[in-house]
Amino acid sequence: MIRFLFRPNYAQKLSLLATLPLIVACFAIAALVAFQSRSMADREIRVLEHQLIEAKKAELRNYVTQARNGFMHVYGPAGLDDQEAKKRVTQMLSAMIYGKDGFFFVYDYDGNNLVSPRQTEFINRNWSGLSDSNGVPVVDRFIEIARQGAGWHSFMWEKPSTGEEAQMIAYVVGLQDWRWAIGTGVFIDDVIASIASSRAEVEQRVRHTFLYIGAITLVALLLVFTSGMVLNIRERRLADAKLKELTQRVFDAQEEERGRVARELHDSISQLLVGVRYALETVKHRIAGGDYDRVQPPLDKGVGGLATAISEVRRISRDLRPGVLDDLGLGPALKALTDDFAARTGIETEFTTVVFRNRLDQESKIALYRVAQEALMNIERHSGATRVTMDLRGHANGATMRITDNGVGLPSEQSRSGPGIGLRNMQERMEQLDGSLRILSSRPASPNASAPAGGGTVIEARLPLSHLLPPGDESQTPRQPEPGTR
């Protein structure tokens, strides 16, 4: 269904061919940039998070070390059940508060809270089995860490200044003689907020990158579209101009051919028929006057004129479409063409060929025949040559026809202005068949030839091997082949 709704023309296909790779490349670049940006930002954020947390841990360890140094002179000499010493230590730890939320806590190994200056409701109550909102054990983990000596623990805890839960990291040490777990914690919600802000900033940069790449892609697409439209309009105008030129050339060629046929009919057929008419009228008058003895000469003259007119009609018909080309093939047709050319112009003409193992297709035969016809016409009109040779042969790369004369060659003004319409027609006929036409300068065919010092002209037409039919293909085989003329 989509195929029927959208059928792009040639210009649209070119535009799609130019824009689709650009769009795909831009999307790929955007995806790669986003992936690399996120990966790099994640690494940087993880490093930042690790550094901030390590700084908090170092701070906590320093607090605990200072607190321990502060009560060590009491704890050191005290006995296991020295209640007075324990009371003094709890008083000292209760007084150690810092910041808005910093405090020290103390639990015995049974889970009883002994110190909690900012949350006094916890004091003298057993909190064994207490867990945070995520199910992470809190007090039991404190005791476990204290039994091992010292360590870290992260959990959710109510923030004294706001009454809301926040992530806390605590550092706990154990007083093994008194079976106490002493520690302090710091809330890292500021760290989490900073990390979240950094991630949001990264996402914003990625979005901005996408927007920038999208804007660049849009500008590039607009440039491609605009340049494509300009080129399309320019090429269309050039194509229209070339089409008009080609159409005019076709009209000119048609008019030239019509004029040639009209001139030949007027100059030859018309004059011959007028002569036949006068001869027949003479015969009529002489018969009417009873002068029968003088009837035979004008009658013979009229019959001869009719024979000549018939020959001229056949020649004109052969020039328009030679029947021998269809009946016998290209070789006999070119042989007849050169023989007629030599008889009509008096120019010495030689035609040679080699037997084709493969045969030319119909389009190639017509093209080579028309090239030869146009070349002989140009030689007759412009070259002043006294000798012409034409050679046709097949070879491993295709077929070649070579026409050489000892005339004056191409005029210099034609070389400057480009080939005339006849030469252009010859070139276009060969190009349509993927062949080539070369026009070269050459010296006269023999030292005794009466050509000017400027030398003659060589026209070489080549056809590729693809236009030669295999021996078994009889679809375009001439009906009556002659040896050496194919």
Position 276 in a domain:
no
Taking only the tens place, the pLDDT of each residue in 226-245 is 877 787 788 888 888 888 88
Residue where a domain terminates, one of 192, 209, 225: 192
Position 203 in a domain:
no
Residue where a domain terminates, one of 159, 177, 192: 192
Question: Residue 421: its pLDDT value, please?
Answer: 65
204 pLDDT higher than 80? yes
152 pLDDT higher than 80? yes
Looking at the structure of the chain, the number of domains it has is 2
3-state secondary structure the chain: CHHHHCCCCHHHHHHHHHHHHHHHHHHHHHHHHHHHHHHHHHHHHHHHHHHHHHHHHHHHHHHHHHHHHHHHHHHCCCCCCCHHHHHHHHHHHHHCCECCCECEEEEECCCEEEECCCCHHHCCCECCCCECCCCCECHHHHHHHHHHCEEEEEEEEECCCCCCEEEEEEEEEEECCCCEEEEEEEECHHHHHHHHHHHHHHHHHHHHHHHHHHHHHHHHHHHHHHHHHHHHHHHHHHHHHHHHHHHHHHHHHHHHHHHHHHHHHHHHHHHHHHHHHHHHHHHHHHHHCCCHHHCHHHHHHHHHHHHHHHHHHHHHHHHHCCHHHHHCCHHHHHHHHHHHHHHHHCCEEEEEECCCCCEECHHHHHHHHHHHHHHHHHHHHHHCCCEEEEEEEEECCEEEEEEEECCCCCCHHHHHHCCCHHHHHHHHHHHHCCCEEEEEEECCCCCCCCCCCCCEEEEEEEEEHHHEECCCCCCCCCCCCCCCCC
Position 36 in a domain:
yes
Query: Can you tell me the distance from the alpha carbon of 352 to that of 437, in angstroms, rounded to the nearest whole number?
Result: 19
Question: Residue 419: its pLDDT value, please?
Answer: 54
How would you classify residue 484: left for phi > 0, otherwise alpha for psi between -120 and 50, otherwise beta? left
Position 399 in a domain:
yes
Rounded to 10 deg, the angle between the 10-75 and 189-264 helix axes is 170
Average pLDDT on 4-33 reads 70
Torsion of CA 120, 124, 125, 129, to 10 degrees: 100
| Domain assignment of residue 109, given as a range | 13-192
Residue where a domain terminates, one of 166, 192, 218: 192
Position 281 in a domain:
no
CATH of the domain at 106: 3.30.450.20
Taking only the tens place, the pLDDT of each residue in 309-344 is 887 777 777 666 666 677 777 888 888 888 888 988
CATH of the domain at 404: 3.30.565.10
CB atoms within 10 A of CB 188: 20
471 pLDDT higher than 80? no
Question: Residue 450: its pLDDT value, please?
Answer: 41
Position 58 in a domain:
yes
Taking only the tens place, the pLDDT of each residue in 41-78 is 788 778 877 888 888 888 888 888 888 888 888 888 88
Average pLDDT, the chain: 80
Position 267 in a domain:
no
Position 277 in a domain:
no
